[in-house]
């Protein structure tokens, strides 16, 4: 984290009561929505640790759903998010579970669309409203949602990452950070690229065409 500025100390403007359990939860929901990147009609929400224990009093469930509905942490409709979800025909159910050795404020979303597309997204609220997405469909990631993000599932072969960065450079996208994680050497690897500029559809299409790329998705940053 960089040096704090005045608006970190007098701000953010948010709906209470807790920056980690409410504001951060809204951001987690919003991030799950961005990652799914399409219509969804059903969400199963699993709360872990402090989210499970004190979530009710902090409106964590309301906040998570508000985020799924694309609200921001300062939206005064957060406390009515369950009704609003209902009006929109979004089916929700909540569960509590031990998600293992994760941050105490962690949630797992399982989003489903009518045409059967499903995605599992796990993230944590790490304090002061900041969040990090930790897992997408069983792959460990580290996505704080501050940047335009490219998530790539690819075969772990020499040169793949270089091909991708070349395509990004050609599309005038400046890379801020990059992390590669892999399951087994030579098997599949997951690369997360954080960029200063939007990764547009054209660049994404070219990346998807690379023979070693299994899957690629671009995620917009949170505001």
Partner 1 sequence: MLSYEDLVVQAEKKNLKVGEIIILDQMEQLEQTEAQLRRRMSENLQVMRDSVASGLTGERKSLSGLIGGDAAKVEARRLRGESLVGETVSKAIARALSVSEVNASMGKIVAAPTAGSSGVLPAVLLTVEELYQAAEKDVITALFTSAGLGMVIADRANVSGAEGGCQAEIGSATAMAAAMAVELAGGTPRAGAHAAAIALKSMLGLVCDPVAGLVEVPCVKRNATGATLALAAAEMALAGVRSAIPIDEVIDTMEAIGRQMPCSLRETAQGGLAVTPTARRIHADFL
Asked whether position 159 contacts partner 1 by CB under 8 A, the answer is: no
What does the buried/exposed string (b/e) look like for 61-82 if buried means 16 or more CB atoms within 10 Å of the residue's CB? bbbbbbbbbebbbebeebeebe
Regarding 23 and contact with partner 1 (CB under 8 A), the answer is yes
Minimal distance, residue 52 CB to partner 1, in Å? 10
Q: Does residue 187 bind partner 1 (CB under 8 A)?
A: no
**According to the binding rule CB under 8 A, does residue 222 interact with partner 1?**
no
**Least Å distance between CB 88 and partner 1?**
20
Cα-based distances in Å from 207 to 59, 151, 162, 175, 195:
40, 11, 11, 15, 15
Asked whether the bond before 12 is cis by omega within 30 degrees of 0, the reply is: yes
SS3 call for 37 = coil
Binding-residue pattern over the window 119 to 138 for partner 1, x denoting contact by CB under 8 A: --------xx----------
Part in contact with partner 1 (CB under 8 A); list of ranges 46-54, 108-116, 153-161, 195-203: 46-54
CA distance 185 to 183: 7
Residue 96 makes contact with partner 1 by CB under 8 A: no
Q: Does 6 bind partner 1 (CB under 8 A)?
A: yes
Closer Cβ to partner 1, 97 or 205, answer by number: 97
Q: Is the dihedral of CA 75, 77, 81, 85 positive or negative?
A: negative
State the pairing for strand pair 148-155/139-143: unpaired
Q: How far is Cα of residue 152 from the mean position of the Cα atoms in its chain?
A: 14
24 scored as a contact of partner 1 (CB under 8 A)? no
Residues that bind partner 1 (CB under 8 A): 3-19, 22-23, 50, 53-54, 56-59, 62, 74, 76, 78-79, 127-128
């Amino acid at each position: 984290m960089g040096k704090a500025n005045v608006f970190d100390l007098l701000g953010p403007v948010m709906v209470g009561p807790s920056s980690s359990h409410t504001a951060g939860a809204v951001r987690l929901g919003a991030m799950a929505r961005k990652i799914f990147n399409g219509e969804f009609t059903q969400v199963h929400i699993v709360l872990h640790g402090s989210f499970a224990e004190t979530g009710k009093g902090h409106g964590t469930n309301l906040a998570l759903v508000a985020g799924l509905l694309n609200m921001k942490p300062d939206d005064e409709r957060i406390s009515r998010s369950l009704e609003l979800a209902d009006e929109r025909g979004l089916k929700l159910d909540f569960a509590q579970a031990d998600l293992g050795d994760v941050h105490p404020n962690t949630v797992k979303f399982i989003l489903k669309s009518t045409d059967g597309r499903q995605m599992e997204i796990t993230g944590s609220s790490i304090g002061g409203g900041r969040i990090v997405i930790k897992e997408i469909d069983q792959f460990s990631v580290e996505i704080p949602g501050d940047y335009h993000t490219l998530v790539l599932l690819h075969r772990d072969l020499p040169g793949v990452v270089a091909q991708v960065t070349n395509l990004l450079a050609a599309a005038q996208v400046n890379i801020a950070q990059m992390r590669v994680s892999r399951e087994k050497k030579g098997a599949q690897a997951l690369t997360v690229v954080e960029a200063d500029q939007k990764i547009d559809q054209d660049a994404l299409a070219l990346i998807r065409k690379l023979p070693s790329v299994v899957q690629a998705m671009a995620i917009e940053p949170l505001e």
